[in-house]
Amino acid sequence: MSAMLRAIAGAAFVFALSLSLTAQPHSQQPPLDKAARAWVDATLKKLSLEQIVGQMVFAPFQSTYLSSDTDAYDELVKLVHETQIGGVIAFGGTEPIPQVMLNNTYGAVVLGQPMELASILNRLQSISTLPLLASSDFEWGVQMRIAGATKFPRAMAFGAAGDPQLAYEAGKVTGTEARALGIHVDFAPVADVNNNPRNPVINIRSFGEDPARVGEMVGAFSRGLQDAGVLATLKHFPGHGDTDVDSHLGLPVVPHPRERVVSVELPPFKAGIMAGAAGVMVAHIELPALDPEKQPATFSPKVIGTLLRPNFDGLIYSDSMKMAAITKMATPGEAAVRAVKAGIDVILDSPDSAAAAAAVVAAVKAGEIPRAQVEQSARRILEAKARLGLHRTRTVNLDAVPLTVGGRKHDSVARAISEKSITLIKDARNQVPLPTPRTGSVLYLSVLDYPSGWRIAAPSRAVIPALRARWPNTESVEISDRSTPSELDLVRAMADNYDAVVAGVFVRASSASGRLDLAPPVVKLLQDLARSGERRSQSTSALRATVDKPFVAVFFGNPYTPMFVPEVPAMLMTYDFSDYAEESAVKAIAGEIAIGGKLPIVLPGLFPMGHGLTRAAR
């Protein structure tokens, strides 16, 4: 094929991709009123180049207590005064841990505090020449980062519950609490279609595997957020769901042909855009079918400038620029310049925000980036601030925080979603609800992938007391990849002495862990417990009563874990890690709630998407 024909074919494909996002007229951001428009125009007119570029940089901070008389606060003040950043991104907190080998089980991550977050934002807003656009990752509610706020199940639980209205309500609660704390942008919902069982970074953060159903949930959650006054941001464009590399650690490659991207990855983003989502976050992933130059989407004019921008007039954010997919290939300044050249409006969470801004300024002065382009990005950012009313009021009332953040009304929405999502995928012996009398004995196994890093969501902390409240004679044991052979043998022997065995299986798909499964000896134990009744049924009649001993496994987190232990006779899915998920699972085992969740994914070799047994509450 000649170069001219290749160019024509490429242009035709880009046009086809654009049509895939614009089968209907794409959603426009709401128009500004006269006063807001005048503020944007007047503000932009008086900004220097350095101030214009500064608007495009959002710097990170932690939302634990921060005195104004600290180096950390001084660094933020310097970014506000000298770099004149346009916004910030709030994280939770971290604590120092010993960097030791072998038995390091410490968790460094902690949640931030609501009053501290609001206080820091109020202080930064008061010293900034222009209002700051404050953002955070509240994918599963504000408690993803902030203690005491409402925590919803992970997105895949919404997919299992199958109720877009609940997704809308969760978005609205999240937005209401976020605005009360001074947060204006939520980097949610996740619009990725998770169809790779080995995806180490999306997994239960996705609503599921069916593009249409994912799009339905994405649209509902986006509308809820924005009805509460928070800007929704779809991520990770054009789709991070079918990767087997964590972009926190390296550069994932999506090898699929163009047609597959159009039919599977793009529909949820289209649904979110049609629902009015104000932002899109671009993924650090390589898509050779879309960009033959094999550069990350973050640096790709073909992905951002040609595919996304013509169909979307909101803000385009980079993903965190601290992720290894980017830091391994460019300095903070180089990365910022390449991202802006590609069409990014906001450089998010750079390893060096000041250096990123300075490099973009230098590139504009050198003619590498048109000044008109950065002015247009700054305009979009200022317009977003004006739509939120930040040109009028930029601080929040600290006294109102306890009245808005958390509380029973918001918790009731989270509990409803958690209970509705519980999915019974197998019940070979018809033992769910558990037939064991309340006077019977239960052995509970807390089965972990590995015991480190559980600082925030300690496994089984809600399951154990909930089981004991219903079956007082419950004994609990924790096992993991660190359990010795003798310990596992002890558990095998113990199981014979109980009337029922319940296993809570906790497997994470967490950033930077590189792990997704259980240790082989732990898998073998679960298989042995599942098969023990079958073996005994073929022996003497005196032991035949043990055949029907209940054995129920509840899977928390990675929904593909049942593929490792298909022998288990009864399996419940929660798609989450939380106290509510644990409590809902016990209620389902006890027959206190109806079970009606449906698999939002395919479990290869086991069950199709949409599978799920139903049980009435008793």
Kindly report the backbone phi and psi dihedral angles of residue 492, in degrees, each rounded to the nearest multiple of 5, phi listed first. -55, -45
Residue 447 parent element (H or E): strand 441-448
DSSP 53-84: HHTTEEEEEE-S---SSSHHHHHHHHIIIII-
For residue 118 the two structure tokens come to 């609001």
Which is it for strands 473-479 and 500-507: parallel, antiparallel or unpaired? unpaired
Checking phi first, is residue 543 left (phi over 0); if not, alpha (psi -120 to 50) or beta? Answer: alpha
Distance of CA 164 to the CA centre of its chain: 18
Question: Residue 577 has which token pair?
Answer: 């890690």
* Spatial CA neighbour of 152 closest among 176, 169, 134, 132: 169
Q: Is the peptide bond before 256 cis (omega within 30 degrees of 0)?
A: no
List strand residue ranges (DSSP E) for 560-604, in order. Answer: 570-573
Would you please indicate which residues are annotated as catalytic (active-site) residues? 248, 319
Evaluate whether 304 touches 343 at the Cβ level (below 8 Å).
yes
Containing H/E element for 159? helix 155-161
Residue 294's DSSP bridge partners are none
- Amino acid identity, position 431: Q
Say how many C-beta atoms besides its own lie within 10 A of residue 129's C-beta. 12
Residue 110: in which H helix or E strand, if any? strand 109-110
CA–CA–CA angle 609, 614, 617 (5° rounding): 145
Bond prior to 238 in cis (omega within 30° of 0): yes
Measured CA to CA, the distance from residue 136 to residue 157 in angstroms comes to 21
- The answer to whether residues 505 and 554 touch, using CB atoms and an 8 Å cutoff, is yes
**Is residue 597 within 8 Å of residue 421, measured between CB atoms?**
yes
The answer to whether 510 and 202 are in contact (CB under 8 A) is: no
Neighbours of 593 (CB within 10 A): 21
